[in-house]
Structure 1
Amino acid sequence: MGTDEHTDRAATDEPDGATAYEASLRPPGESLRSTDDTGDDLGGPAPDEGQPATTTSRAGYDVDDVSGSADPARYE
């Protein structure tokens, strides 16, 4: 245990091989790769349900109910 060298850590976590210090000097979001993924988890409607994808997630729950954007007064 007298060594300062860590064998359980990678030399870098950045995809381009930059060190943590170099990556910290970048503007926010610069090291992120752009993809076609929009980051949402909305899928198409199930064939038998016919609900639009904007209100139904792949998990099958009401997106508005869990997002906090629903009106709490609509429930009786």
Structure 2
Amino acid sequence: MKRILGAVCGLLLGLVLLSGLPQPVFAGPVDWQEVPVTSEGQQWWDRGSLRLNKNGNLTVLSRFQPRPRRRVPMARRSAPRPAAST
């Protein structure tokens, strides 16, 4: 039984190796168009990605960068920090 299982595993491994490993996919050039900035963040859309789908809806590739949250400043210390020990 172990011999048959080993043969089947070897056969499957051979098929995977012969089928080739997935090749990387590279995206084509993009033509980012900036949308006016809002309080939520900044957005861009790709002019070359405009497509009509089978339902007749317009689709587009877009990218959104949320506005960074304000960091609360740390309380100032009255005494300087001690030097790092060596």
What TM-score do you get using the length of structure 1 for normalisation?
Answer: 0.24
Larger helix proportion, structure 1 or 2? Answer: 2
Larger strand proportion, structure 1 or 2? Answer: 2
Structure number with greater Rg is 2
Structure of higher RCO (CA pairs closer than 8 Å, 6+ residues apart): 2
What TM-score do you get using the length of structure 2 for normalisation?
Answer: 0.23
